[in-house]
Amino acid sequence: MHLSARRGYSARLAAPHPDPLVTRTTRCLTPPSLAPGARVALVCPAGPLRGAADLERAEANARSLGWDPVVGRHALDRRGYFAGDDAARLGDLNAALRDPGIDGIWCVRGGYGAMRILPGVDWDALVRRPRVLLGYSDITALHLGALAAGVGTLHGPTARAELTDFSRDSLVRAASLGSDPCGTAPSARTLRGGRAAGPLVGGNLALVAALVGTPWAAQLTGAILVLEDVNEAVYRVDRMLTQLRLAGALEGLAGIAFGHCTSCEEESDDGARTLDDVIREHAEALDVPCLAGIPLGHIDDQWTLPLGTRAELDADARTLQVVERGMA
């Protein structure tokens, strides 16, 4: 780790968190939109690619959106279940953050490993020149790190995804047009009625829970919590939500917009509970509106959500609308 990064990490550990309302509503910067010809770094800060075809598809996706892809040096590295060792993955990410010619960073895949490099990320470089950071799943660790630094990000498809028309449309609106990339979710389920307004914060539930107690923990006072996950039994979803509540992480929450929990079994040897029952129970305990089944998560058709940006949730109307872009 670079000495300045180590010092910054120590300072964050020693200093109290900034007031979450200040961080989320008055200091969150939104990076400029990606115009045609924007240079977009393709990096792998977590799990490895299956092969060159994944990277080729990522480059093709970037070009199809009018962007110029710049592949990270270690994008095709593999070390066990990581895309290279921590130093290699961190090096590619920091190289992109420090390069004045890079306009955006698109993570090629999720997997696991992004939280391991959080202490060494050059967040100061991102603050000096905010730029788009795009991805989902394990990339939630980087989203929360950027939000802690006061910079908004885009929770959306990874670069290697096979983009559907639905996902592409939302991605373009979020990353290139700076317009509302969300809207009505007709197949979503109202678990607890009501309306809420606040910045969008969250991502993958497992990462949100895992970062509790760290300098990069989600600050959720006044926020709309957006969540998704994959391959988690319902009892584990319950356990993670319970952990967040017991840790006090959900105090002052404005609302919940839950996406999809893909391949999340509802039955175990000890019995069964539905995912909706679990989420509803927590929403009722928190006394907040809750909508489940929005197009978010490990699914083909997904919204790209501008995290850190103010939005309005109407659980009865089954809508989530971004109402403010730029500095909030």
Instruction: Give me Rg for the CA atoms of the chain.
Output: 18
CB 319 within 8 A of CB 195: no
How does strand 183-184 pair with strand 319-322?
A: antiparallel
Task: Count CB atoms within 10 A of the CB of residue 268.
Answer: 12
Residues sharing a CB contact under 8 Å with residue 272, sequence separation 6 or more, in sequence order = 234, 266
Half-sphere exposure at residue 122, Cβ-oriented, CA atoms within 13 angstroms = 19
- The answer to whether residue 2 is catalytic is no
**Selected catalytic residue, list 33, 59, 74, 137:** 137
| 291 φ, ψ (degrees, to nearest 5) | -120, 135
267 is a catalytic site residue: no
Please pick, among 143, 260, 282, 298, the residue that the annotation labels catalytic. Answer: 298
Per annotation, catalytic residue among 33, 170, 176, 228? 228
Alpha-carbon distance of 143 to 69, in angstroms, equals 21
Is 324 one of the annotated active-site residues of the chain? no
In angstroms, the first-to-last Cα distance of the chain is 33
Q: Which token pair is 58?
A: 């990522």
The catalytic residues are 137, 228, 298
